Structure 1
Amino acid sequence: MDIFLALTAALLYFAALLQIIPGLSGPNQIPARSVFLSASGALVLHAYLLSDLILSGGGQNLSILNVASLISFIIAAITTGLMFRMRIWVLLPVVYSFSAINLTAATLLPGAFITHLEAHPEVLIHISLALFSYSTLMIATLYAIQLAWLDHQLKNKKKLVMNPNLPPLMAVERQLFNIILIGEVLLTLTLLTGLVFVQDMIAQGKAHKAVLSAMAWVVYGVLLWGHYQSGWRGRRVIWISIVGAFLLTLAYFGSRFVREVIIAG
């Protein structure tokens, strides 16, 4: 049954995706309501499957695939909720594709990394902040890629720039820094709660997570400072955003990937 539901959710994600793509390459209006209904159906099934995959009887199964699927769900839910307020159509095909792939992989390739967060609510707060900070900054990375794509279209005078489904370049840039600021605040709270609540945060075998997360925090902080104090924009902003996302991904998934996939395989 879980496999059937996962495949149904993936099909709904791809149905939403297929309704978006034609509007990105032509002047036709994207059917936002229809896309929203397809994506909402996929998200409902995704949430149900996540509860089944993560909330096992013996604790919480936070395997690398389950966590990746949870993060992709958070990103998909946030971006879907924003589709009527912002022209984020360029982002959604990537978001929905990753959600479908991550959910299918988590369902078909079950792993085990059991924790007991009910016994440590303070750790649950820390992990929740970590998930939301990572998801928010990944959305910022997608915005940076969208910004680069729109900038390329402008410089090459492509007709796609006139597409009514695409946002103005300046609006994307403004939204990008608002999202990075929110993500930086969440990342700050993540690091602070880690220092306070997670006693072995800098212990051997875990220190790299704290170091890489702190490096990402510095990178995003420098980016925000450079933008608001010195007017940084363009390619510099895009590349710094990607570097910050890379550092965070290494912090969140690097050792888990080696331990759960490479060594276990």
Structure 2
Amino acid sequence: MDILGYSGSGWLSSALYLLLLVLLSSRPKGESESSAFTGLIQGAILLILLVHGIQLHDSVFTPEGFVFGFAQDLSLIAWVGLAFYWFQSWFLPISSLRWLVLFFALICSALPALFSGTLISPTAVSDPWFKGHFIVATISVGLLSLAAMHAMLMSVQDRALHRQLAIIPNSRVAHWIEDLPPLMTMESLLFNLLYVGFALLSLTVFSGLLFSQALFGKPLVFDHKTIFALISWFLFAGLLVARWRVGLRGRAAVRWVLSAYTALLLAYVGSRFVLEVILQRV
């Protein structure tokens, strides 16, 4: 694999994310965002998505074959999350998520330049079952990542409203929180993300359980990845049932979302990280 060539493109997308964050911070505090500025930022995000997407393609589809690992997984999750954000931001009041999504993408886009990943069996990758499972899994985790960031933003907003978070009056953070939609609107947006993300996660988890032999070339094994994936699925399912039956909301819902997402990351990223970095196995 051309690590030097890839590293250049990896750092390029990270540098572009950093420049965009600097541009966002240059806007005077308290000043409303003009439509021209919003259009500029949206155009810049689209451009960086293209650069980041090319970087991902080159790091995963190499001359040696399909290369994947925890770094590529996180980078892809961040890319999907940002793509969802970019599309939905045209229709929904979620501009407040922009900083979190871009910062997450900044960190994750640099990881494949540092961790090269593992060469995956070409036989598995050519299987249509594997391809479908891989695409749906990536989209579901990316969408649920966006929901988790949204939940973290709600937590900050809730604490600020209840004066449990010290914020300097007239500071950039204070104006940022004031620009957020009402908590009820934020909560409604959160559950809209969760409904779609959970549906895709269900398809991912149960396709993996039922078609393990076809997908991965081996019978179902209840390893750490499978166990954490099931824990995450049950947590998200419990959250949505509690929302439907008893109207669960507020801090309890936010904590539930973050707990479920932590289990999801441990399943799809944590297991790869332990194998590749800590145990140094392929």
Same fold (TM over 0.5): yes
Measure, in 1, the Cα distance between the counterparts of 2:98 and 2:266: 24
Residue 60, structure 1, aligned to residue 66, structure 2: yes
TM-score by length of 1: 0.89
Residues 122-151 of structure 1, C-alpha deviations (whole Å, 9 max, x = no match): 011112111111111111111111111221
Residue 41, structure 1, aligned to residue 52, structure 2: no
The answer as to whether partners of 1:12 and 1:39 remain within 8 angstroms in 2 is no
Distance 1:16 1:82, change over 3 A: farther
The answer as to whether partners of 2:17 and 2:106 remain within 8 angstroms in 1 is yes
Residues 67-118 of structure 1, C-alpha deviations (whole Å, 9 max, x = no match): 1111111111111222222232332222212222222221243232323244
How big is the shift at 1:48?
0.8
Measure, in 2, the Cα distance between the counterparts of 1:46 and 1:214: 31
Measure, in 1, the Cα distance between the counterparts of 2:42 and 2:255: 31
Measure, in 2, the Cα distance between the counterparts of 1:23 and 1:245: 33
Measure, in 2, the Cα distance between the counterparts of 1:3 and 1:113: 17
| Aligned counterpart in structure 2 of residue 139 of structure 1, from 138, 146, 154 | 146
Measure, in 2, the Cα distance between the counterparts of 1:151 and 1:37: 31
State the aligned residue count.
Answer: 263
How big is the shift at 1:164?
6.9
| Aligned counterpart in structure 2 of residue 71 of structure 1, from 56, 69, 77 | 77
Residues 199-224 of structure 1, C-alpha deviations (whole Å, 9 max, x = no match): 23632xx5322221111111111111
Q: Which position in structure 1 is the counterpart of 2:253?
A: 237
TM-score by length of 2: 0.84
Measure, in 1, the Cα distance between the counterparts of 2:249 and 2:23: 32
Identify unmatched segments of 5+ residues in structure 1. none
Q: Which position in structure 1 is the counterpart of 2:22?
A: 18
The answer as to whether partners of 1:54 and 1:66 remain within 8 angstroms in 2 is yes
Distance 1:201 1:247, change over 3 A: farther
How big is the shift at 1:163?
6.4
How big is the shift at 1:239?
0.6
Distance 1:90 1:201, change over 3 A: farther
Identify unmatched segments of 5+ residues in structure 2. none
| Aligned counterpart in structure 2 of residue 181 of structure 1, from 195, 215, 219 | 195
CA RMSD of superposed structures (Å) = 2.4
Most deviating of 194-203 and 229-238: 194-203
Measure, in 1, the Cα distance between the counterparts of 2:178 and 2:88: 17
Measure, in 2, the Cα distance between the counterparts of 1:220 and 1:172: 18
One-letter amino acid of the structure 2 residue matched with residue 243 of structure 1: S
Measure, in 2, the Cα distance between the counterparts of 1:250 and 1:58: 28
